[in-house]
Structure 1
Amino acid sequence: MPDLLIVTPDRVAATNFERLAQKAGFRVKLTQEVGPALNWIMTKPFDVVVATEALGEASIEELASSLWGTSSYARFLVYSDSTLKEDQLSRKWAFDLLGVDFFSGDDLYEEVANVLTEVVKQKISKLAKFRILVVEDLEAPRDIICSFIEHLEHSLVRGVSSAKAALEILRTDPDYYTCLVTDINMPEMNGCELIEEIRRDSKVKHLPIIALTAYGSADVLLKALKAGVSGFLVKPPNREHMTRELSRAKRIFYHKEDPRLVKSHEIDEVRKILIEKGFLMIK
Structure 2
Amino acid sequence: MQTTGNTLLVTGGGSGIGRALAEAFLALGNEVIIAGRRESVLKEVVEANPGLHYAVLDTCDPASTQRVAEQLIARYPKLNAVIHCAGIMRGESLRAGATELEATVATNLLGPIRLDGLLLPHFLKQPHAAIVTVSSGLAFVPLALTPSYCAIKAAVHSYSQSLRYQLKDTAVNVHELVPPYVQTELMGERQANDPHAMPLKAFIDEVMGILQRSPDADEILVERVKPLRFAEVNGGYAQFFQTFNDQMAAARAGE
Greater RCO (Cα-Cα under 8 Å, separation 6 or more): 2
State if a TM-score over 0.5 links the two structures.
no
Q: Shorter-normalised TM-score: what interval?
A: 0.3 to 0.5
TM-score, normalised by the number of residues in structure 2:
0.39
TM-score, normalised by the number of residues in structure 1:
0.36
| Bigger Cα Rg | 1
